[in-house]
Amino acid sequence: MDVYVSCRLDDPIIMPMYRLVVNQDGPGPITTSGDLEESYRMEIEEMIKNESERRMTENKDPLEESRLHSLSLVDLFEEDHPDLVAALMVRLGPVRAALEGHGGSLVVFSGETEINQSGKKTLSLIVDLDGACVSCGAAPGTLKGIQDDLLTDDEIISIRFNAGMLEWFDEIQRDFLLKFGGVSFV
């Protein structure tokens, strides 16, 4: 049996209709498969991903993107090469569109190379933000997105953030970021 549910958030925006699958096969209580909140999160996540990819393909040179993605981050870091930030930016997912769309960028504050267990050089970076991203209310999600995206690269072993950026925020924002941001500051 399909049940269609409409929900309203606290603001005047009405969420789209969601299909809720109800299992009535057994004599027990009705159980539902799927979770409305999870469905909503996944739908929004897909929309954000699609929109960010659209914006990126409109404004980026695919050959340059490919060149930057093929570069070794460790080599760029060790050479203090000016392409390091651009090479880091191409490794970002949807958060990149938000950063660039708001005039922001990454700044490599400091870092070091480390040898991982397989004997390969990796990077441990401390990054900062630049541009309009400074003190943005979306900072917790932005920082977490940056961290998660960069950690998918096998040359990066850790991403931490410059503690100096905490001064950009008021006390409530700072406390929220430290408690719920899911990132580390040094």
* Residue 73 confidence (pLDDT): 98
* Residue 72 confidence (pLDDT): 98
pTM for this model (two decimals): 0.69
CATH code of 73-180, in short, is 3.30.300
CA 146, chain centre distance (Å): 5
Sheet with 31-33: list strands edge to edge: 2-5, 18-23, 31-33
Q: Tens-of-pLDDT digits for all 186 residues of the chain?
A: 444 444 444 433 333 434 444 445 555 555 454 577 777 777 777 776 676 666 666 667 889 999 999 999 999 999 999 999 999 999 998 888 878 877 788 999 999 999 998 999 999 999 998 876 665 656 778 889 999 999 999 999 999 999 998 888 889 888 988 998 899 999
Question: In whole angstroms, how far apart are CA 51 and each of 5, 39, 45, 144, 147?
Answer: 26, 18, 10, 19, 21
* Residue 183 confidence (pLDDT): 94
Ranges of each domain in the chain: 2-57, 73-180
* Residue 112 confidence (pLDDT): 97
* Residue 7 confidence (pLDDT): 43
What angle do the packed helices 139-151 and 94-101 form, to 10 degrees?
130
